[in-house]
Structure 1
Amino acid sequence: QYFGVDEAQFEAVTAENQRLREELEKLEKEKQNEPDRVQALEKTRASLQKDRQKYKNYLEEMEQHKTLLEQRTKGIKEEIESAGIDLYSSN
C-alpha cells in the first residue's frame, strides 16, 4: 500500500482512467471529422437530386417518344386499311 491506497485498486483505477482517455480521444476525433461527414452527405444528396431530375427528364422523353410512335403506328394502320380498301374496290 502506498499512502493508504490498495495497489490492486490503484491499478484498476489507472486502467479505467486509461480506457476513458482513449475513448475521449476517439470521440474528439469523430467530432473533428463530423463537418467532413456532413459535407459528404450534402454532396451525395445534391448528386442524387441531379440524378433524379435526369431520370425524370428521361422518362418524360420516353413518354413523348412513345406517343410519337403510337401516332406513327396509327397513321401506318390507316394507310394499310386505305390501301386495302383501294385494292378491293379496284377488283
Structure 2
Amino acid sequence: MNSNQNGPSASASYVLKSGHDLSIPCPLCKGRRALKLGDIDEAITERLSGMRGVTDLLIDVPMIDAEQGSVAQAAYVLRGLIDEVVEMYRVMSPGVGQRMQEQ
C-alpha cells in the first residue's frame, strides 16, 4: 500500500517542479506561445479523445453503411489529430531534455 501512496505523490511533485512556462510552436498555426505543461497535457488529451471518437466511428462504418467519402473524411480527421499530437511531442522533446540538464 505504501508503494501506491508514494507513486501519485512522486508524479505530483514532478508536475509541480516542471510547472514553469515553455514556449512551443502551435501545431496548427506554427506561432509561438507560452504554455504550461498542464495546458499541453490537456491539449494532447483532447486530441487523443478525438482520435478515440473517430476510431469508434470508423469501427461502426459497416453497420451504418457510410459512403466512401465520409469514411475518407473521418480518416483525414484522424490523421490530422495524430499529426498534431506527434508535433506536440516533437516540439516538447528538446525542451524536456534541456530542463533535465539544467537541474
Q: Normalising by structure 1, what TM-score?
A: 0.37
Structure with more relative contact order (C-alpha pairs < 8 Å, separation 6 or more): 2
Q: Which has the higher helix share?
A: 1
- For the pair shown, which has the larger CA radius of gyration, 1 or 2? 1
Q: Which has the higher strand share?
A: 2
